[in-house]
Structure 1
Amino acid sequence: MKLGSVAAIAGLFVTASAWADATATNSQPETTLIDIAGHEVPVVKGGLYDRYRSNPPLSVIAAEAPDVDLSWFKGLAKTKVDIGFESYSPNFYYRNSRVTAVYTADLAKLKELMPARVLEQVQPLQVWPGRGLVAFTAYSYHYCDNDSYNEVALSIITNKPGKSNLGPISLIGQSLSRDYWGYVLKLPVNTELARVRGVVGYNLPKWLTGIDVREDERSVAYDIVDSRTGKVDVVFKADKLADLSKDDEWVTNSFTNTDPKGELTYGYAVSRQLSHASSTDGDSARLILGDGELSAYIRALKLGKMMKYEYVPQFQSALYAPRPLNTLVGRN
């Protein structure tokens, strides 16, 4: 893992602070309060969610964002679901970008952080003795059914439920099929709408904090604020890779967890990657840690070598509502 020096961290924090001060003067969209499962949630007044509650007609999307290719979404049918509140599955993400770095981590610590019930079905993939893998992903959802927001995911890479955990062999199999499985450890977001929907509807460990994006011609950086102190805690700076592939690439990311009753569930998102590149150069992404809670949590994982970096400046996604795990693997 590339950790910055104290001077580098300080410089990035000053830059982030200056950027935040500059943007704070910009006008913010007007909001209105709506009820989601008993939570009063501010949403953009007149935004997609305010008007359509996760089910906007594609004709509206075409009119508001004529540059977005909607051909894939036209073949996907939405279904009304009860996920603690009325919603529709899948949730559509029309224009997005992400950067991901995969690191080795302490295997014993990863197992310690997973609930016992989940460990009965899936375990961290061991890439060599004592070492598992975690993925650190920063997302920008520029235009989606939930308006727009930023999100950061820290996840353990696991075997697929019902399949043997064969370590590197399982990892190669997931890579070849582009069907990845994991357990989500942390998932900060920067809108209350994303937080409430994620916690109530998808049983995900979301909390609300500042996640700001800075970019130039060469790199993109996500500044993640410590929600207690209000100061930047983690900076994820990643290169904008050249030689981007423009061929559509389909990727499925699934997660196993438990619902409020303790029952095992799984959820998944299918993504259409429109522009993408990857690298194994350890200098292509840097995770810079500060003194906050998320940094302390990441340090405890004892991150090691960065195995892979993915730069995906354009992708679309469909997120499906969680389902009971026994519908996937059968009852034990």
Structure 2
Amino acid sequence: MPVTHAANGLPEQAATTQIDIAGHPVPVLKGGLYDRYRSNPPLAVIQAEAPDIDLSWFKSLEKTRVDMGFESYSPNFYYRNSRVTAVYTADLERLRALMPAAVLEQVQPLQVWPGRGLVAFTAYTYDYCDNDSYNEVAVSIITNEPGKANLGPFSLVGQSMAKDFWGYVLKLPVNTELARVRGVVGYNLPKWLTGIDRREDAQAVTYDIVDARSGKVDVVFRARKLDGLSHEPGLVTNSFTNLDHQGRLAFGYATSRQVSHASSMQADSAELVLGDGELSRYIHELQLGRMVKYEYVPEFQSALYAPKPLAALD
């Protein structure tokens, strides 16, 4: 039987406790990783609780205590995760209109051909991480790197070769209050709480994204499981530019170790079904076109770093 969830995204039968994050009362799993360690669990604890996870990469990374609107540690570790991403063309002028003027002075949407930019739609499942487990969906504009020329498709090829991608996050629903508050307060990200359910069968992974206002499924993202998976681990960095809570330019990034992955350019690899809810209406306005790339990553690990002022970018 499927697990039912409370309004806070946690399983209805789970024991919870309430903690304070920057003045926000947040329910978390009682005895969970976040309840016990606040983003700084010893790797020995992770090894004991999940002995099947390879922690060698995390042993090479160092956490530091940071103030990100609340006291935490950076980077935040994501030990066992999966994701699916579809990249679509979109209306370039609409993308520019959705970015703050101060951000546009530093980065712009990549133009892949006249009047068309790129939007990445990504669904994540974080099975085991410093802030327990949750699902997340990101709608992001692909941009140039700050300080680098925007050369459209040439910039995209350069980012692909370097495995170093830049974007501006438009929407980022999550399905736990802990993930929402940490993301909004700590990372300046446009998160809200709603139902995000993941289903899996032999052929595909499907995410049902609920409209927070109506309580009905609004967006369905069906992503095909690809054959020919590469099991050669590789590092990929995804960075974002935005404004902090004082309106100052900032950036953040996550480095991921992709353990199992494959990609495709076939149009039937992913299907995005839109309803009439708030997120669907927003996506409709982007005027999405053809899907230009699909990524199936059934296993990856990640380290998410606390944001910094853009001026600190080397």
Confirm or deny that 1:148 pairs with 2:133: yes
- Deviation track 1:217-245 (CA, whole Å, cap 9, x = no partner) reads 11000000000000000000000001100
For 1:23, give the aligned amino acid: V
**Letter matched to residue 76 of structure 1:** L
**Aligned with residue 48 of structure 1, among 29, 33, 39:** 33
State the shift of 1:138 in Å.
0.1
Q: Name the SS of the counterpart of 2:268 in structure 1.
A: coil
| CA root-mean-square deviation | 1.0
Letter in 1 for 2:3: T
SS in 2 for 1:29: coil
Segments of 4+ in structure 1 off by > 3 A?
Answer: none
- 1:42-95 deviations in whole A, cap 9, x for unaligned? 000000000000000000000000000000000100000000000000000000
Q: For residues 85 and 153 of structure 1, what CA distance do their matches in structure 2 show?
A: 24
CA–CA separation in structure 2 for the residues paired with 1:29 and 1:222: 23
Alpha-carbon distance change, 87 to 123 in structure 1, aligned in 2, over 3 angstroms? same
Q: Secondary structure at the match of 2:261?
A: strand
Q: Which amino acid aligns with 1:273?
A: Q
Q: Distance in 2 between matches of 1:123 and 1:27?
A: 43
Partner residue of 1:12? none
Q: Distance in 1 between matches of 2:84 and 2:135?
A: 12
| Match in the other structure for 1:24 | 4
Query: Which of the numbers 223, 242, 251 marks the counterpart of 1:257?
Result: 242
For 2:214 and 2:12, how far apart are their aligned partners in 1?
A: 24
Amino acid at match of 2:113: W
2:106 corresponds to 1:121: yes
Indicate whether 1:239 and 2:219 are aligned. no
Aligned counterpart, 1:133: 118
Q: Deviations over 1:245-284 (max 9, x none)?
A: 0001110000000001100000000000000000000000
Q: How far, CA to CA, are the matches of 2:15 and 2:82 in structure 1? A: 25
Cα distance in 2, alignment partners of residues 138 and 240 from structure 1: 14
Query: Partner of 1:207: helix, strand, or coil?
Result: coil
**Identity in percent:** 76
Q: Report the AA paired with residue 24 of structure 1.
A: T
Distance 1:24 1:143 in 2: 19
Q: Which residue of 1 aligns with 2:8?
A: none
What are the ranges of 5 or more consecutive residues in structure 2 without an aligned counterpart?
6-10
**Code of the aligned partner of 1:72:** W
Equivalent AA in structure 2 for residue 109 of structure 1: R
Query: What SS is found at the alignment partner of 2:3?
Result: helix
> In structure 1, what is the equivalent of residue 88 of structure 2?
103
Q: Is 2:76 aligned against 1:91?
A: yes
CA distance in 2, matches of 1:23, 1:250: 33
- Larger deviation: 143-152 or 27-36? 27-36
Alignment of 1:145-294 (within 5 A): 145-294=130-279
Alignment partners' CA distance in 2, 1:138 and 1:27: 23
Within 2, Cα distance between the matches of 1:229 and 1:305?
29
How far apart are the structure 2 equivalents of 1:174 and 1:28? 45
The C-alpha deviation readout for 1:303-324, integer Å capped at 9, x for no partner, is 0010000000000000000000
In structure 2, the partner of 1:10 is: none
- State the shift of 1:28 in Å: 2.8
| Corresponding residue of 1:8 | none
Secondary structure, counterpart of 2:313 in structure 1: helix
* d(CA) in 1 for partners of 2:271, 2:56: 36
Supply the AA of the counterpart residue of 2:213.
Answer: R
The Cα offsets for residues 137-186 of structure 1, whole Å up to 9 and x where unpaired, read as: 00000000000000000000000000000000000000000100000000
How far does residue 27 in structure 1 lie from its aligned partner after superposition? 5.6
Q: Report the Cα distance in structure 2 between the residues aligned to 1:220 and 1:203, rounded to whole angstroms.
A: 29
In proportion to residue count, which structure has more helix?
1
CA distance in 2, matches of 1:322, 1:106: 29
Tell me the SS of whatever aligns to 1:87.
strand
Number of aligned residue pairs = 309
Q: TM-score, normalised by structure 2?
A: 0.97
2:37 paired with 1:57: no
